[in-house]
Amino acid sequence: MSNTAEIKFNGNTYELPVTTGSENEQAIDISKLRAESGLITLDPGFKNTGSTKSAITFLDGEQGILRYRGYSIEDLADKSSFLEVAYLLIYGELPDTETFTNFKNRISKHTFVHEDIKKILDGFPSKAHPMGVLSSLVCSLTAFYPGSLAPNRSEDDIDLSIIRLLAKLPTFTAWAYKNKIGHPVIYPDNKLDYCSNFMKMMYGLPGNEYEVDPVVASALDKLLILHADHEQNCSTSTVRIVGSSQASLYSSISAGINALWGPLHGGANQAVIEMLEAIKEDGGDTTKFLNKAKDKNDPFRLMGFGHRVYKNFDPRAKIIKKAADDVLAKLGVNDPVLDIAKGLEEAALKDDYFVERKLYPNVDFYSGIIYRAMGIPTEMFTVMFALGRLPGWIAQWKEMRDNNEPIGRPRQVYVGAEQRDYTDISKR
């Protein structure tokens, strides 16, 4: 197989190296093309651009494959735990018992946050969206740990920032929710595991005992595993590009949270439930909304359908669909919105428009349904996604840093006005 590609332009031929990945993915390396030919490549939305070589996550959208560090998502969701997956993503290997116990203990020690963070939280109106609150609280860590801003920190220092972030994000997430509903915050309980501690901080009340439902805690753990990484998506690329300027881990992750917020990315899980509720309010006619989604003059899209890279069933959606059925059955939840979701899915999978465009339900189509069954309010869904995605963001930031990657700085094709003379305001 050839390991070069040729570009012919203006009578010249430019030979470009072809890089092959460990799963035989091939890429033309164009990094020297501009210097040799003056040409750049144009790829809005980076639909066909590899921004890095990464050893973290493998994804084959055509075949519906997702693996973290070589382990299949199906195996990890079935046999592992969120913190073990976090360790795997960040450090590259599954931990042995001693390493894992040490990792978990270190996380438990850092779950508390500086009391002054409560003052920042108090400054947010209760109508503030919890994603904005979360990204601000994460960025505020740069103020509490100013040493984190130094680009040339030791590996131990970087590791401490990583542990702090993993430990404090559940606290921030639960507190963003408490701020939303106007309740006093609940402090972490370090006797509990990661998900149970989070749930107690979300649903506990001061002075009241709170019993964590193990079914719900285990479903949450699985959901977090499924969200833990997804290679170079919008928020992860944001984290890497912000980090490439040598911005701190905290500010890079805060930027990632903001990128995740949009309805075309992590905000889709909230948008799915809002859409399903709107369909229910409108009388439950799924065909009407399917037709709206197909109508090019109507901006309506079927939220939770389609994916930039999966042109087959999203493997995470398959696992979540089953988990949703289990949780709803175990909790005895009978949700009419779920019936609408099932009807919509069935109809869309048979519809030519969706079949031809390979639009399948994505992870967000079902995750909102489980979160809803767990009693998590709609505005918190994307925050839950951020909690799950954190280890992936950290792993990608660390990889970018370990590989000494250059600052991210795309080119453009300028299509604006040509040079012109300035005219005084009185003459315009």
Enumerate the active-site residues. Answer: 307, 364
CB of 258 to ligand ACO, least distance (A): 14
**Given candidates 110, 114, 280, 308, which one binds ligand ACO under the rule CB under 6 A?**
308
205 touches ligand ACO (CB under 6 A): no
Q: Which two tokens stand for residue 28?
A: 């033309």
Which of 268/386 has CB closer to ligand ACO?
268
Nearest to 256 by CA among 276, 274, 234: 234
**Given candidates 194, 305, 393, 397, which one binds ligand ACO under the rule CB under 6 A?**
305
Indicate the residue whose CB is closest to ligand ACO. 306
Question: What is the spatial distance between Cα 99 and Cα 371, in angstroms, rounded to a whole number?
Answer: 32
271 touches 303 (CB < 8 A):
yes
**Given candidates 55, 264, 278, 355, which one binds ligand ACO under the rule CB under 6 A?**
264
CB of 271 to ligand ACO, least distance (A): 7
Which of 103/310 has CB closer to ligand ACO?
310
257 touches 138 (CB < 8 A):
yes
331 touches 215 (CB < 8 A):
yes
Size of the site for ligand ACO (CB under 6 A): 18
**Given candidates 130, 170, 243, 306, which one binds ligand ACO under the rule CB under 6 A?**
306
CB of 264 to ligand ACO, least distance (A): 4
Give the ranges where 262-380 is alpha helix by DSSP (H).
268-281, 286-294, 315-331, 336-350, 352-356, 363-373
- Give the x-and-dash track for 309-328 against ligand ACO (CB under 6 A): --------------------
Provide the phi-psi class of 401: left if phi over 0, else alpha when psi is between -120 and 50, else beta: alpha
Which of 109/357 has CB closer to ligand ACO?
357
55 touches ligand ACO (CB under 6 A): no
CA angle 416, 419, 423 (to 5 degrees): 110
Question: What is the spatial distance between Cα 405 and Cα 318, in angstroms, rounded to a whole number?
Answer: 35
Q: How many Cα atoms sit within 13 Å of 307 on the Cβ side?
A: 24
Q: Which of residues 336-375 bind ligand ACO (CB under 6 A)?
A: 357, 359, 362-364
CB of 357 to ligand ACO, least distance (A): 4
Q: Which two tokens stand for residue 417?
A: 């006005």
292 touches ligand ACO (CB under 6 A): no
Residue with tokens 């402090």: 187
Which of 33/234 has CB closer to ligand ACO?
234
Question: What is the spatial distance between Cα 351 and Cα 330, in angstroms, rounded to a whole number?
Answer: 32
Site of interaction with ligand ACO (CB under 6 A): 264-266, 268, 293, 301-308, 357, 359, 362-364
